[in-house]
Amino acid sequence: MDIYTIPHREKYIVYRPLKRLAFVANAALVNLLVKTRGDPTSPCLAEHRESHDFLKTIGFWELDPPPPPSPSLNASFTPTVAVLFLTTACDFRCVYCYASGGDHAVQNLPFESGCRIIDAVCQNAMDAGQEHFDLNFHGGGEPTLARKTFRRLVDYARAKSLPCQISVASNGDWNSEERDWILEHLDNVSLSFDGIQDVQDRQRPLASGQGSFETILETIRAMDRRQFPYGIRLTVTNESIDVLGRSIEFLCKDTSCQTFQIEPAFDHGRAQRDGTALTHNERFAAAFLQAYDIAASYGRHLYYSGARPWVLTSRFCQAPERALVITPGGSLTACYEIYSDDHALARDFFLGKLDDNGQIHIDVEARQQLFKKLEERRTLCEDCFCYWHCAGDCPSKTFSGKGHLYFGARCDLNRLITKELLIRYITDGNGIWQGTERGIGGDC
């Protein structure tokens, strides 16, 4: 039985993550639980019948369900998600871009390379008896700028005998013809858009230096008119923390978007070079929680990838197990954010290559080494109440020059937000959280 007690003001949150159960207790009840060691027949309960009955009523004495399994080091790699980094070209110059998009010589993924990746994951999905496979366009540039290849690969995937779910992570800077084509041919869009005009124009300018707010707002309105499924990802810098609530209020009032992902600008790429990474974690947490409450009041869901109490997992991200991710240069990576051979973490995350003959080569030893590092890191998290949610956290943000076992301020941020979300869930449940949540969140 996994039980965590989390100090909260002068009391404690008693939390059983696998059971999806949480409530607030005083020190006396916490001490009683420690004595019982989760045993409802413990003699020490004889003098505490009322506490015993309360715990029984809420299902506290029930056993944990089976935990999410940990991936096997020796399991075969049969991904059913194709992730294509089409290009390093970008028509934006976002101040925090992890890939410094548009600053380097342009590399484009050949059409034939994309086809081979699609072929492989489609076959894996068919062999597994799945009803569909997935195709995601992503990468260190703007995928839709590789217009011809993008469209040909969408058509190629659609022509497969197995249905395909197709999505793109995009800045949304499309003309009317591009917009119509994307909304006609894709299933989902993950749109990067940072909120009110002042923030969007400052943080996500066009390559020309002009603001992008009005153009992207028209893309959002077009998706709303079509009732097209999309989510919005907002990135927060030190400068934009204090207006995050205003941005979410605006988006809830003026758009039909149902899901918002909020992430701090991380210290990679342009953010590292120019000092635009977010450093005020406590202010970010407060702003996030305010934004969460605003979104909830509109019936929308808002989340941050490091704090996901509704997720039970043994791995922060499923990409290393489920996705075949290819860079424009033909390298196979285990992470959406490790995009090029010269990335500082490429040695940890690059797991193979697509050769000139279209053959996929997986470096089994490199993959096993990555899995070992992920598991070594997570093992050190066993005493943390985020263990089954954060699961060691995002490796691209936690692996560093200090190694893969470094735990920094992001851990404190994850715990702070997770704790405050649990309090909200408990309040919504009239004192007890039993697994329901205001919305359905994403993974990362």
pLDDT digits (tens, 9 = 90+) for 369-389: 999 999 999 999 999 999 999
- Report residue 437's pLDDT band, with 50, 70 and 90 as the boundaries: low
**In whole angstroms, how far apart are CA 332 and each of 108, 114, 279, 309, 389?**
15, 12, 32, 31, 27
If you average pLDDT over residues 417-425, what whole number do you get? 97
Residues 34 and 151 in one domain: no
CATH value at residue 169: 3.20.20.70
Model confidence band, residue 401 (pLDDT cutoffs 50, 70, 90) = low
Note whether residue 168 is domain-resident.
yes
Residue 14: which domain range? 4-66
Over the stretch 153-208, which tens digit does the pLDDT of each residue have?
Answer: 999 999 999 999 999 999 999 999 999 999 999 999 999 999 999 999 999 999 99
Same domain, 324 and 366: yes
Detail the DSSP E strand segments found in 94-227. Answer: 133-138, 164-170, 188-192
- Residue 439 confidence (pLDDT): 44
Quote the mean pLDDT of the chain: 94
What tokens were used for 385? Answer: 């109440």
Whether 302 has a pLDDT exceeding 70, the answer reads yes
The answer on pLDDT for 402 being more than 80 is no
Residues 234 and 331 in one domain: yes
The answer to whether residue 434 is domain-embedded is no
Going by pLDDT thresholds of 50, 70 and 90, the confidence category of residue 39 is confident
Q: Is residue 425 part of a domain?
A: no
Closest of 110, 106, 204 to residue 149, by C-alpha = 110
Chain segment 119-151, per-residue pLDDT in tens: 999 999 999 999 999 999 998 999 999 999 999
| pLDDT (0 to 100) of residue 300 | 97
Q: What is the mean pLDDT of residues 56-75?
A: 90
For residue 50, tell me if it sits in a domain: yes
Q: What share of the chain is helix, strand, coil (3-state, %, to 5)?
A: 40, 20, 45
Same domain for 101 and 51 = no
Q: For residues 30-39, give the mean pLDDT.
A: 90
> What's the average model confidence in pLDDT over 63-84?
91
Report the sign of the C-alpha dihedral through residues 244, 250, 253, 258, in that order: negative
**Residue 435 in domain:** no
Report the domain count for the chain: 2
CA nearest to 333, candidates 130, 127, 117, 142: 117
Confidence at residue 26, expressed as pLDDT on a 0 to 100 scale: 96
Same domain, 58 and 193: no
Flag whether 173 is in a domain.
yes
| Residue 161: DSSP 8-state | S
104 and 60 in a common domain = no
pTM: 0.94
Residues 136, 208, single domain; the answer is yes
Mean pLDDT of 64-82: 90
| Residues 333, 203 within the same domain | yes
DSSP one-letter string for 252-319: HHH----EEEEEEPPSSHHHHHHT-S---HHHHHHHHHHHHHHHHHTT-EEEBTTB-TT---SSS-SH
What pLDDT does residue 444 have? 54
Specify the pLDDT at position 90.
Answer: 98
Question: Is pLDDT at 31 greater than 70 in this prediction?
Answer: yes
Q: Is 62 in the same domain as 83?
A: no
Query: Which SS3 state, helix, strand or coil, does residue 342 take?
Result: coil
Verify that 12 and 143 share a domain, yes or no: no
pLDDT band at 107 (very low <50, low <70, confident <90, very high): very high
* pLDDT reported for residue 375: 92
> What's the confidence (pLDDT) of residue 441?
45
Q: How many CB atoms lie within 10 A of CB 313?
A: 17
| Tokens coding 218 | 């028209």
Domain check: are 90 and 231 in the same one?
yes
With a pLDDT cut of 70, the percent of the chain lying above it is 98
Q: Which two tokens stand for residue 301?
A: 């869901």
Judge whether 442 lies within some domain. Answer: no
- Partnered with residue 24 across adjacent β-strands are 13
330 and 385 inside one domain? yes
* pLDDT reading at 406 higher than 90: no
Does some domain include residue 163? yes
**How do residues 305-363 score in pLDDT, each as one tens digit?**
999 999 999 999 999 999 999 999 999 999 999 998 888 899 999 999 999 999 999 99
